[in-house]
Amino acid sequence: MTLSTIRHDWTHQEVEALLNQPFNDLIFAAQTVHRQHFDPNSVQTSTLLNIKTGGCAEDCSYCSQSSRYDTGLDKEQMMQLDEVLNKAAQAKTTGATRFCMGAAWRNPNAKDFEMVLNMVRGVKDLGMEACCTLGMLNDEQAARLKEAGLDYYNHNLDTSESFYPQVITTRSFQDRLDTLERVRNQGMKVCSGGIIGMGESNTDRAQMLRTFANLPEHPHSVPINLLVPMEGTPLADMRGKTDPFDFIRVIATARIMMPASYVRLSAGRSEMTDETQALCFLAGANSIFYGDKLLTADNPDSQHDLMLFKRLGLTQATGGC
């Protein structure tokens, strides 16, 4: 069995061995696997828009949009359809092929959900792939999103099952797995990843990656986020506490374990040097969020990304996850 084999039976010992091997060996293995499944010099770009900001009932310790924390973020009403579609059209002109809409909800309410369905239809009419992240879904909501044309649904696991209660108490780890199952059952593609730098151990990181890789179907994209500490949240003091090489190890291990998935270098890029990002691309990251804002966190501006791509000889992918 080669490293590029699609597997769903990883043991914890195997994952830890991958994650903790000498750095050069890990990067070589990840780049080798990457080249067997993808163009090594192509990066898919997506744009994320926060269509409803603040007021979330969840207590995610990293999130500035939780109503439980005083982060200085004002609760805003749902964006109007025309405004969302104008943002999508702008993103398309800058090269984005996929448009993701995020709302700060525990789960969608009936009135706003109808508006989201219209947004999905509008994005599809622009010729773009559509993605949503709306919190937990029930069976009917998943079916209606599929009917509207949704391509991808983002619902992160965030961390390992054992560390999860230290980060979130208002929903269970199983709740998240159940939503992923509903999305898969409707034939939509799953986008699900985690956050590095919340105080978790290497063992937690290995457990999280094992959970993703042992799902019945690997997520089509796996966003790996570096925590962006937000003032007013319980994790506000965690800035700068993650070794960049440890973060890159997670990227490389994800690439090896999920060879055909897009591995997205996601939140936290504004905290990374260009050199760290380049090593992430070498380790198998082949997708980024494109634009100057990720929900409420800063992101490198698109011109900086284009300059970095030029320096590295990378091109924007025209499709994918």
What token pair was written down for 79? 């964006």
Cβ neighbours of 12 (radius 10 Å): 12
Whether 321 sits among the annotated catalytic residues: the reply is no
Q: Which of 98, 100, 210, 249 is catalytic?
A: 100
Q: How many helices (H) and strands (E) does the chain have?
A: 10, 12
Instruction: Write down how long the chain is.
Output: 321
User: Tokens 């590029």 — which residue?
Assistant: 4
Q: Which of 144, 205, 264, 269 is catalytic?
A: 264
Cα distance between the two ends of the chain: 27
Whether 132 sits among the annotated catalytic residues: the reply is no
In this structure, are residues 190 and 220 in contact, taking their beta carbons and an 8 Å threshold?
Answer: yes
Q: Which of 7, 98, 106, 131 is catalytic?
A: 131
What token pair was written down for 261? 């998935």
Strand locations in 53-182 (E): 98-103, 129-133, 152-154
Helix axes 244-257, 202-213, angle to 10 degrees: 20
Going by the DSSP 8-state scheme, the letter that residue 44 receives in this structure is: E
Q: Which residues of 121-154 are buried (b: 16+ CB within 10 A; e: fewer)?
A: bbbbeeebbbbbbbbbbeeebbebbbebbbbbbb
Q: Which of 56, 132, 280, 321 is catalytic?
A: 56
Catalytic residues: 56, 60, 63, 100, 131, 191, 264
